[in-house]
Structure 1
Amino acid sequence: MSAIYSLTNPIFTNFAFYAAASTIKMMAMSLLTSRQRLAKNIFANPEDIALGSNKEAKVTLSDPDVERIRRNHLNDIENILPFFVIGALYVATNPTPVVALWHFRVFFFSRIFHTIAYQLALPQPSRSLGFTAGYVATISMAVQLFRALLK
């Protein structure tokens, strides 16, 4: 058998792919926040005003457009980091490859959908469904991990 945490293990390879893709997606939220701040000339710190495109740039922490992206980013942090930890431990249980792949896919695509629903302000329960699908995927992996640990 190949090493569990090796690129020769298809379960780990799939996890690594979706973990990396989720990380890039989460990092993109920082760029979206910066883009929105620059577009609106709204900054979080006085020294950042120099980055503004005109003299009307201001410091504020309450712009609704910027805060929507920041809340979305925070939600990513709250969900993607647990996915990394639980997913890495789940890989060690040597799950069925197809089942593991679907856990990773459901999680990743739920985060993409959640972001789209959040940023486009789609009517609820759109965003909630995206959140719930990813959350359930992570909880499912955790349950399987505990089952393996308690054998």
Structure 2
Amino acid sequence: MQYLTPDNPVFVTYAIAAALMVLKLMGQGWLTVYRMMKSGWGGMVNPEDLRQSALNPHPHDDQLEVSDYVDRSRRMHRNDLENIPGFWMAGLLFVFAAPPLWLAQVTMYGFVLARALHAWAYLSKQNHEVRATFYTVGSLIVIYMALHALVVLLG
């Protein structure tokens, strides 16, 4: 069987989930920029960002102060960078393990849903336990996919 083709529904499931995670990861960066712009370029992190420019015509020292509004998005982005690449790798290995389609859909779309709910929890300022629940679900899915791939591919 050819694993990485559009004829393989497990690969198509992976491709859809992986593409959604690309959009989430890249979109989070853009959300951070939007929040910086909306707050008058607050939440800058580098001294050179205070140089006058077309987008920041009136820079001021306050722009380097921590802004929770901006930094919350930055923390979400960092969390995505810590979690989504593991999904991409484990998911691809999982495709090569040829799981049943239902299992691929439950795990891969489950991960996408867990990340979406984690983002909602972060944006809506839910407490740590709520965020941790969604993180844990996504993390356990990735661990399962990696272990499943190891067992099948080495077995």
Same fold, TM exceeding 0.5?
Answer: yes
- CA 1:147 to 1:31, structure 2 compared with 1: closer, same or farther past 3 Å? same
SS of structure 2 residue aligned to 1:125: helix
CA displacement at 1:61 relative to structure 2:
5.8
Percent of paired sites with the same residue: 30
Q: Give, in angstroms, the shift of residue 57 of structure 1.
A: 7.1
Instruction: Say which SS state the counterpart of residue 127 (structure 1) adopts.
Output: helix
Question: Any conservation in 2 of the 1:87–1:138 contact (CA below 8 Å)?
Answer: yes
- 1:150 and 2:149 correspond: no
**What's the CA shift string for 1:34-69, capped at 9, x where partnerless?**
011111122334554432375557441622221111
Aligned length: 150
Measure, in 2, the Cα distance between the counterparts of 1:122 and 1:100. Answer: 29
Q: Which residue number corresponds to residue 6 of structure 2?
A: 7
1:44 matched residue in structure 2 = 45
Counterpart check, 1:126 vs 2:114: no
Query: Which whole-Å CA distance do the structure 2 matches of 1:27 and 1:141 have between them?
Result: 24
Is 1:139 matched up with 2:143?
A: yes
Q: Which residue of 1 aligns with 2:34?
A: 35
| Separation in structure 2 between the aligned mates of residue 133 and residue 31 of structure 1, nearest angstrom | 26
Instruction: Please state whether the residue corresponding to 1:95 is helix, strand or coil.
Output: coil
CA RMSD of aligned residues (A): 1.8
- Tell me whether 1:105 sits opposite 2:109 in the alignment: yes
TM-score, normalized by length of structure 2? 0.88
Map 1:74-85 onto structure 2 (within 5 A): 74-85=78-89
Unaligned residue ranges in structure 1 (runs of 5+): none
TM-score w.r.t. length of structure 1: 0.90
Q: 5+ unaligned residues in a row in structure 2: which ranges? A: none
Give CA deviations for 1:111-148 in whole Å, capped at 9, x if unaligned.
00001101111134211111011101101101101111
Aligned partners of 2:93 and 2:149 also within 8 Å: yes
How many Å separate the matches in 2 of 1:45 and 1:56? 12
Distance 1:120 1:75 in 2: 16
Match of 2:90, as an amino acid?
A: I
How much does 1:79 deviate? 0.6
